Amino acid sequence: NFGLKPNIGLQVRKLDRKGKKSDGPVLRSCQEQVIPRCFSTTEDFFREKKIQTKLEPWKIPAGMSPEEATKQLTELIESYPPGHDGVDAGGFRLLQTLPTYLYGQFASFIGLISDVEFAVMENGDVQVRSALRSMAPDAFGNVQTPPDSLLNAKRLNWFSERLRKMGWAAPEITEQTHPEYFAENMKAGLKTVGLEFMPEREEDGKPEYW
């Protein structure tokens, strides 16, 4: 797998350089990612360049327990079609399925890994994080990670569209909600991660990374 292992899960996290911490456990932010390849419901206080990464928490339907919501979300993830809209053609796997927390890895056609997390809280909020990993350093120690070709937006939008039909509040990621993310990807020409590495013929098959 390309990239570095993530710092995942719900934790009390540092929110600024002065040591301020979150009020309770939260997922990791997109801290210090100056390239548009991450979304998180935890605000990024470390950014050196203004790239929009913040998502509003999703919300489960009224009357549904966090455990029921997590089960519904698990079933939806298991139905996810790799390669839809030119992303995640390398497949995916769920690595942690806890009563109110899910963690999975999604792979592009060339094996770039995205870490995706969902945490359903007692108040009905759903913390979300979807982030393309940094690529491994080259022989000179340089890390050259491209923009994500909109794959994080496309992936989360696939889930949120279906969850809204189930009564969830899960806003779509659009050029209106995150203009800088879309602008930076367009400036980069949507290269490298997604579309151009899709197999052109059905008989080419799908790569297996796990």
Model confidence pLDDT, tens digit, residues 151-195 = 999 999 999 999 999 999 999 999 999 998 898 888 776 544 444
Percent of the chain with pLDDT over 90: 48
pLDDT in tens, 63-112: 999 999 999 999 999 999 999 898 999 999 999 999 999 999 999 887 88
DSSP 148: -
Q: Which pair of tokens denotes residue 169?
A: 């509040």
Dihedral sign of CA atoms 171, 172, 176, 181 in order: positive
Rounded-to-integer distance, Cα 127 and Cα 48, Å: 24
Determine the 3-state secondary structure of 84 from DSSP.
helix
Query: Quick one: pLDDT at residue 201?
Result: 40
**How many CB atoms sit inside 10 A of residue 201's CB?**
6
Q: What is the pLDDT averaged over residues 127-139?
A: 77
Mean pLDDT of the chain: 81
Q: Who has greater pLDDT, 156 or 7?
A: 156
pLDDT band at 23 (very low <50, low <70, confident <90, very high): confident
pLDDT at 190: 52
Whether residue 34 has pLDDT greater than 90: no
CB 39 within 8 A of CB 157: no
pLDDT at 198 over 50: no
- 17 pLDDT above the threshold of 80: no
Handedness of CA 40, 42, 47, 51 (dihedral sign): positive
Give the span between the Cα atoms of 63 and 95, in whole angstroms. Answer: 28
